[in-house]
Structure 1
């Protein structure tokens, strides 16, 4: 790594370099319901590492017993993150490799993991992701709604008021949206979606994915919201919501054809601060802020 790369924080990780003297952090997905979805590579890695950092050691032990994996575990969850990270980093630096698993699915995706990954990256320790089970992608590809582009959100806040605040920022997004929800909160969350997105937006609920009672409920937000109020809702859910085909226009859209000076003034008249308006116009036209500033203020270039 040259001096310029170090200055700007650039890193280049060779995951399987023979010259590496430290251990590696392996991010190992586990089944979200069907044990048959465990990959051969995941089993091999869990057997080879020095320790498994598990969200719930009791839950993971059932998986280890099934695949006859005898590797010891250490708990790593949202309540002991700060305590565990220095310990795990020290083991990696000493040469031990560690596998991280969550209760189900891929670590870091709506589960613990990201803090340890960030710490490893900061310490220039290898982080090796393994492919595997993911509820959001599984539901997306079976939904019948456009699979790309998509916007993964995960769990919304539990409070309806904060849900609606978050949804208000997503209402105009054209991408397919992916949310997770627990069964006892599903009806209220769907009602929040109806309140902000309207009743006609398409939605698909993926329930108990990969398990015996796997089910997909497809319809409009209005229809599915009514179903959730009347039916006995059980199991973990993924919600796939279609994107907005006709997002509301913004001042930038309305004024984008104007000359630069008039565009900036129009945004200011619409309520933006001058510095914000100049920045937005520069971004839209691919110019430097200084250039737009000079044009707007009639400053001649040297």
Structure 2
């Protein structure tokens, strides 16, 4: 309905005299001007798209350079910088599920769980056969904030994502690691946790981080022989890695190989700083007053014998 038609209807309804002449004139003149202005704006927007809608164009060299930079930033523990890098790549290649997944892991490591969840879900929509996107979403459910019943349901969701990833690719190791973590951390089912961790380390035997959590599960599940089977061979190639040593020492101790266990514990204490070493050597931190005095008496008698 245009302005003139509206005015005619007002007249027909008998309300003509109730409206001031100046108002009627304003409506009659203003509406056509407003319509013309809106039409002109629409034409301008069609001819000159905004910068927000302009697609970022990258050469292959630029893409490869940014990709390498983002991966290096993740390795160096700079996920915030990696988010910026991978965002630029996603803007240039919005349909690339692999880049979306990388951005999701950067958000996850930067603890931006909402952005990570949204990004992984988009990656899944772009490519339903990417196991890394499913595991990434599962990790969001595990690592994101949640307590009580919410944490329980999130753990179930994470298990579902991990299982879907395995159905897509049965050799995708991180899915088994996620399942191992879920069974160990949320359900204290050490047997199932070890089962999935074994599958994981068979596929990624050199991942020290995964071996460490596998070792923890073995200690909790009292399967000490598996510690020596899977963890001990990795001490030599990872001499600077200290986390595996006390786990291996515990494995030897419970297998009653006490001298070897003591050697490993001493080796571990040599590699840590003085403050941490004190937690293991200062008995006063854990002993009762009676136990502490008994220990001192034994130490004094030993010194006299020497």
Q: Which has the higher strand share?
A: 1
TM-score (norm 2): 0.27
TM-score (norm 1): 0.28
